[in-house]
Amino acid sequence: MICTDELTVIEVDGQPLAALADRLRVPEPAASIPPDAPEHCPACQAGVTAATEVCPDCGLTLTDLQ
Ligand SMILES: [Zn+2]
């Protein structure tokens, strides 16, 4: 939070900053998907993980799979 003599924001649109921070809090994409989250190969539906780069079943490259 920026807090100087010139700029001290206490409220925005009548809402306390704490409430605004809660509303603006967005989970980071990388943090929303654990590395070992269960995924499925889009081609053969084999069970893989998000960390799997190549499907062990059909060989499909999964690096862009999210
Ligand atoms: Zn596959």
The pLDDT profile of the chain, 66 residues, written as one tens digit per residue, is: 666 677 677 777 777 777 767 777 766 665 565 555 678 898 999 998 888 899 999 999 987 544
Distance 53 CA to ligand 1 centre (A): 11
User: Which residue ranges make up each domain of the chain?
Assistant: 37-66
CA 27 to CA 64: how far, in whole Å? 20
CA 58 to CA 12: how far, in whole Å? 53
Distance 64 CA to ligand 1 centre (A): 14
Phi, psi of 49 (to 5 degrees): -110, 165
Cα 7 to chain centroid, rounded: 31
> One-letter amino acid identity for 50?
A
Distance 54 CA to ligand 1 centre (A): 8
Supply the pLDDT for residue 65: 44
CA 66 to CA 30: how far, in whole Å? 10
Record the pTM: 0.39
Q: Which helix (H) or strand (E) holds 27?
A: none
Supply the pLDDT for residue 37: 60
